Amino acid sequence: MADLEIGPGASLDDPSASSSDTKLSDEPAGGSATPGPASATAGLLGRLRQLESRMDRTLGIESDAVSRKRAEDRQRHVPWHAQLSMALLWASGTMNTSCFATGFLGRAFGLDLRQALLVTVLVSLLGGAVVGAAATFGAATGLRQMSVSRFAFGWWPSKVLAVLNCVQQLGWAAVSCITGGLALTAVSDGRVSLVLGIVILAVVAWLISALGLNAILVYERYAWVVFFVIFVIMFAETGRYADSKTPATATGANLAAGVLNLVAVVYGSSASWATVASDYYVHYHADVSRTKVFFMTTFGIAIPTSIGMVAGCVVSSALNIRPDWDAAYQKGLGYVIRDSLYPRGFANFLLALLVLSGINNNVIGMYSAALSFQQISRPFSLVPRLLWMLLSLVCILGLALGGREELNQYLQTFLSLLGYGCTSYIVIILQEHYIFRKGSFHNYDLDGWNTPSRLPIGIGASVSFGLGVVAWCMGMSQVWFTGPLARLIGDSGGDVAVQLTFVVTVVSYPPARYWERKHFGR
């Protein structure tokens, strides 16, 4: 990827073009839609926004978080240790018990250890690259990921996308609460119930994410160290039991189906961050190297994700020769972690620390979900971010408590669906950038990011995304539904929805967008 070019007259640094901050309607008319100051509204909402603004001045909690961060307002020289957050943010968010649990799915799909490891590492890298590509838009535009989407999806379709992103981030956070809650139950020998464990993880994450982006970046920059050390210890204590001799239980077409199903889950686990990536780069200056952003994000996701999943693959393979671990696994994920480590007191200590890994994931999900809520409509943008985060907390608790009994099924179904949607999303965003914007951010009307008349209609993106949904249904293999193409692979079906969605979106978006530009001129 080429670095971003900044030249005279570029809209990246143009401080012009501002208008009314108080427009609340979602009518597609001109004018600025930047969330206004607290004084723009009256009553309880106005007082809450005034309170948020005061808290922002004293604590830096980020009021008006969805507003575009203009280039002249951003720090040009970010210290090297702060730039490490491009990678370490994701390391803290992905090296967790959820990834460890996903590592057990290879065995469930009938793969042997070598096959599971190969799929895990390579597909994690692919998913990380998807997020890396999305992340390059953050510093270049100064916009959050859902705001960037408007330059391809337009005003109204992007609102639907924001709703879907809220569901996606809150659902992923719920998965982290479940796995972390299971670990907390095990470390307490059942004295802390799964329900209480879920509540603890969700509330602590809410407290951290409420402080805003600066606090999140500082916290996540260092939080990963603890979990890296834990996984190294886990490899040291369990690696000797890794079973590389037992062959795959699936053969022929069933083996191919198992590989495809695991690819879908692992890819969904990594690529799901694509719809929030830019949220965490808007504070960098516009001329930051896009190549650096891409590779640090890609490996910042791929390597930690692989570490957690590979640990899961190793321990799951050992269940073949350690019936006591298998019995512990039947009781819950946390129990097999505790019983596979020694001595027991040390194992309980490590498990207690590992519980905190779910918090890191939830911090990212809650923060980005609140931003997405604010972009569903203009009136929503005037509701303080802290209130949206409170709603996010309630939603996460509802999802986690409702899905706590069927963890593996929850992971398989939910993560695969995330991968389908993220594939359509990133293909559309990249084709818009490189085909229709000629790969240059000078061809974006960045000051019109929140003005409907200055954005595309979104017909091309909507048509292409809709066709992608059809591709999902044709190629998915889930517990509750198997598409007609997926049914052709193996006895239970092989998931080819990601591959099919990629092809359909690549082929359909350019002609649909050309037609839109020809008839509407934008």
Residues in CB range of 86: below 8 A, 6 or more apart: 135, 281, 292, 293, 296, 297, 300
Number of neighbouring beta carbons within 10 Å of residue 197: 27
SS3 state at 177: helix
Burial label for 235, CB within 10 Å (0-12, 13-18, 19+), is: middle
What is the structure's pLDDT at 49? 67
Residues 234, 308 contacting (CB under 8 angstroms)? no
What is the structure's pLDDT at 60? 56
Q: Which amino acid is at 47?
A: R
What is the structure's pLDDT at 267? 93
Q: What is the pTM of this model?
A: 0.86
Q: 268 — alpha (psi -120 to 50), left (phi > 0) or beta?
A: alpha
What is the structure's pLDDT at 55? 62
What is the structure's pLDDT at 421? 87
* Residue closest to 306 by CA, chosen among 444, 75, 122: 122
Q: 178 — alpha (psi -120 to 50), left (phi > 0) or beta?
A: alpha
CATH numbers and ranges of domains, the chain: 80-407 (1.10.4160.10)
What is the Cα–Cα distance from 185 to 214, expressed in whole angstroms?
A: 32
pLDDT along the chain (522 residues), means of 10: 38 38 41 43 66 62 74 76 89 88 93 96 96 96 94 94 88 81 78 87 89 84 92 94 92 95 92 93 90 96 96 95 92 86 88 82 89 88 85 89 69 69 94 96 94 95 96 88 93 93 97 95 84
What is the structure's pLDDT at 217? 86
Query: What count of residues does the chain have?
Result: 522
Residues 152, 428 contacting (CB under 8 angstroms)? yes
